[in-house]
Structure 1
Amino acid sequence: MPASLRGLAALVSLLVCASATASFSDDEIRIGVLTDLSGVSAGDAGQLSIIAAEVAADRFGGEINGTPIRIIGMDHGSDSDQALKAARELVEEHNVDMITDLVRSNTAVPVQRYATEQGVIVMPTGGGASSLHGEHCSPLAFHWGFDSFALANAVVSAVVDQGGESWFFVTADYAFGQAIESAATGLVRQAGGEVAGAARYAYKTTDLTEPLTEARRSQADVIGLASGGEDTQKAIRQGYELGLMDGERRFAALLMFITDVRDLGLYVAEGLQLATPYYWDRDEASRELALEVQARSGAMPTMIHAGTFSATLNYLRAAASAGTDEPGPVARTLDDMDIEDAFSRNGYVREDGLMVHDFFLMEAKSPLDSRTAWDYYEEVTAIPGEAIHAAPDGSCEQR
């Protein structure tokens, strides 16, 4: 039986089992997608998360046992105060049952604290802070999409295993860049590699010639980019212009999205290596989701959008199985589920609320090998989730 039909059969089974006892508050199941529609992470990003959640709801025919599912999208502008205000509206005025997306940790952390205190399940898919499953954990909180440590570990372990043993870091000099450089430095050494050095550049620096030249002088095999978004794009573009992407060394991005590769173009990004739990063209399930999102938006989903699809889909699966939207029973059901869908491979919820799942090391293709729009990656290797997520550090005391 094809995977899509097996998934449909499983959903029907859940609905049948729940039908006799289903009890949903307000005669509606409400999912809040709290995302960035106007700030630094806006553009297509937030709208595609809302669409991905709608696709997940459509897998249920828009209802569970006759109770309609409603997706409510709201903007946080990547601002923590705005995010809390929007979360209060979602909880107090719209009575949502679950909140997801929460791109950027500065919004995910305060919203998770507030919403779980109000008895609302939270499933961040766009915030990478480990504190979401550490000190800020909750029985109602599920760190669903990715965490920054796992991303860095996936890149480092796979690249070192592929022969990239000597590293030099080019780092954006702010909290995230410093933290990811520090984590990756330890991971390189742990994996048996060596760190030849690092060069940091100030926030909003436009000319990265100096740190990139230091990277060249180090003669390291790998230039690790401890940054994200426009900073990472800038480093890659200027590295290309300086002739650093010449086959003698490789660039490894510790946080990068397929939309960054689209903005750079394959002539610049060719050979770049990065880790992701989701690539749209990896298999039948990932393609099915991507084409549904693209048909409604014109763009392919990133790992955040696919994570939002997965969080919504599995919340609804848990609610259908529990026969209620009461947060306790739904959360306990999520804790015990195997998570296998277009986003998650070999997924399960750990005791601290982190959803562990596999990642994949990808390499940006040569433009001559790209067959269609968005055909950007070649898979290098699969990386088991258990191999790259840090063990619980004991800071989660609420679960």
Structure 2
Amino acid sequence: MNRRLLLAGAAALPLAAIRPTEGRTQSGISDGVVKIGVLDDMSGVFADQQGMGDVVSARLAIEDFGGRVNGMPIELVHGDLQNRPDVGMAIARRWYDQERVDAIFGLGNSAVALAVQNLSRERRKIDVVVAAGTTDLTGPGCSPYGVHWTYDNYALSRGTVGAVMQGGGRRWFFITSDYAFGHSLEANATAAIRALGGQVVGGARVPLGETDYSSHLVRAAGSGANVVGIAAAGTDFINIVKQMGEFGLMRRGIQPAALLCLLTNVKAIGLETAQGMVFTEAYYWDQNDATRAYAERFARIHGRPPTMFQASMWGAVTHYLKAVQAAGTDATEPVMAKMREMPINDFMTNNGTIRADGRVIRDMYLMRAKRPGQNRGEWDLLEVVQTIPGNEAFRPLNEGGCPLVR
């Protein structure tokens, strides 16, 4: 009787309810599917440089992988973190606990990225931060399952501060987004300025999404600074640079220091105002044949070349899928071991590696915005000034305070 009841109960279960065991037994893939989530700013100040462009690259990576790994399908979901830790955490919890997402990518807000990385550590899930910059992700907040993929605020600050100070910019006033990303970017830039003998003469903390920076720019102009260090990103960064032009700060010899600038930002500002501005990036679409080939594919779908975040999403998802294939499972520990073991080689990365603290070591590039008339087309906006080797671009491993390193 008991055996008949058990058989009848099993027959009544939907296929999805019994698939987890079958999937793990037959293919090493839990639930019979590898499920990836892209969690980014889809509607706020960073949407232009992350957003659906990141989703496009994730889909292209899955398509290029053949749509399956170890014989099982790859599924992609995406969500809008709205630049709010509570919203980002709610989505991540649902994905992990109810929708059985295996790994989360993107996390393009530092406060959200730190919170989700902590949750991922608790759930023993992989998170790959593509677009957030805080160095705490590989410092006190590091995780055995966390990867900081594209860049960080240390690399951005070192390259840009060095170039600006070499050009005579030695007295700095900061305008800083008042959350984890801005604080980290200002702190890293300040350390670089002082190490090179420069001076920070003032600063202002501003809320995310601020639109009127006039009072802060008046303070900057009266501070004796000859550089405004912009520790802000996305639309905020664009508005600050545009208003510096409108208030005539550049004409008075006060230059903007673009501590995080992307291709779409330069397009929005315009070369008339942005010309000559230097900043650090991990990718530019017109660097070589491989970067141009990917940009062309991406633009056919998204209408323009990718930013460094959008381009590097392809590599992040591809590397994860290669690790799943090599491990023969989507279980977190074996996949992370393979991700750390395998070199990263794609159209924007040559022999990249993942350190013990989760930091991806890759070359970075010092970029300069072209002058009006120097560009050959709508998106021909930048030139590569210098390659910064990965072992010089990023914070030394023993200086971050990651518990995994100790």
Q: Is the 8 A contact 2:49 2:264 kept in 1?
A: no
Q: Structure 2 vs 1, CA of residues 352 and 374 (structure 1 numbering), >3 Å: closer, same or farther? A: same
Counterpart for residue 320 of structure 2: 315
Counterpart for residue 66 of structure 1: 71
Q: 2:29 is aligned with what amino acid?
A: F
1:26 aligned to 2:31? yes
Q: 2:109 is aligned with what amino acid?
A: R
Partner deviation per Cα, 1:43-91 (whole Å, 9 max, x = no partner): 5731111111011112212122432221111222221111111112211
Cα distance in structure 2, aligned partners of 1:130 and 1:172: 16
Counterpart for residue 211 of structure 1: 219
Counterpart for residue 306 of structure 1: 311
Cα distance in structure 1, aligned partners of 2:126 and 2:205: 39
> TM-score, structure 1 length as denominator?
0.86
Counterpart for residue 123 of structure 1: 128
> Which structure has the bigger radius of gyration?
2
1:149 aligned to 2:157? no
Matches within 5 A, 1:293-372: 293-372=298-377
Counterpart for residue 16 of structure 1: none
Q: Structure 2 vs 1, CA of residues 135 and 212 (structure 1 numbering), >3 Å: closer, same or farther? A: closer
Matches within 5 A, 1:160-171: 160=165, 162-164=166-168, 166-171=170-175
Q: SS of the counterpart of 1:340?
A: strand
Q: 2:264 is aligned with what amino acid?
A: T
Matches within 5 A, 1:1-399: 23-43=28-48, 45-160=50-165, 162-164=166-168, 166-172=170-176, 174-175=178-179, 176-190=181-195, 192-195=196-199, 197-200=201-204, 202-203=206-207, 204=210, 205-207=212-214, 208-214=216-222, 217-218=224-225, 220=226, 222-245=227-250, 250-392=255-397, 393=399, 395-398=401-404
Partner deviation per Cα, 1:189-224 (whole Å, 9 max, x = no partner): 32x342262343654343154134236x54x4x543
Cα distance in structure 2, aligned partners of 1:59 and 1:173: 37
Tell me which moved more, 174-183 or 251-260. Answer: 174-183
Partner deviation per Cα, 1:25-48 (whole Å, 9 max, x = no partner): 222221111122234433573111
Q: Is the 8 A contact 2:89 2:115 kept in 1?
A: yes
Tell me which moved more, 365-374 or 194-203. Answer: 194-203
Cα distance in structure 2, aligned partners of 1:327 and 1:201: 39
Partner deviation per Cα, 1:268-287 (whole Å, 9 max, x = no partner): 11111111101111122222
Identity across the alignment (%) = 34
Partner deviation per Cα, 1:109-131 (whole Å, 9 max, x = no partner): 11111123222111111221222
Cα distance in structure 1, aligned partners of 2:388 and 2:297: 27
Cα distance in structure 1, aligned partners of 2:44 and 2:169: 38
Q: Structure 2 vs 1, CA of residues 325 and 173 (structure 1 numbering), >3 Å: closer, same or farther? A: closer
Cα distance in structure 1, aligned partners of 2:39 and 2:308: 16
Aligned length: 374
> TM-score, structure 2 length as denominator?
0.84
Cα distance in structure 2, aligned partners of 1:179 and 1:112: 17
Partner deviation per Cα, 1:247-294 (whole Å, 9 max, x = no partner): 966432111222211111111111111111011111222222222221
Q: Is the 8 A contact 1:83 1:111 kept in 2?
A: yes
Q: SS of the counterpart of 2:242?
A: helix
C-alpha deviation, 1:242, in angstroms: 4.0
Tell me which moved more, 171-180 or 331-340. Answer: 171-180
Counterpart for residue 17 of structure 1: none
C-alpha deviation, 1:177, in angstroms: 4.0
Cα distance in structure 2, aligned partners of 1:32 and 1:323: 20
Q: 2:124 is aligned with what amino acid?
A: G
Q: Is the 8 A contact 2:27 2:71 kept in 1?
A: no
Q: Is the 8 A contact 1:34 1:100 kept in 2?
A: yes
Q: Is the 8 A contact 2:134 2:184 kept in 1?
A: no
Q: Is the 8 A contact 1:52 1:293 kept in 2?
A: yes
Q: Is the 8 A contact 1:98 1:120 kept in 2?
A: yes
Partner deviation per Cα, 1:369-393 (whole Å, 9 max, x = no partner): 1111211101111111221322233
Q: Is the 8 A contact 1:201 1:211 kept in 2?
A: no
| RMSD value, Cα | 2.4
Q: SS of the counterpart of 1:49?
A: helix
Q: 2:28 is aligned with what amino acid?
A: S
Q: Is the 8 A contact 1:360 1:380 kept in 2?
A: yes
Q: Is the 8 A contact 1:170 1:224 kept in 2?
A: yes
Q: Structure 2 vs 1, CA of residues 231 and 33 (structure 1 numbering), >3 Å: closer, same or farther? A: closer
Tell me which moved more, 133-142 or 307-316. Answer: 133-142
Q: Is the 8 A contact 1:49 1:101 kept in 2?
A: yes
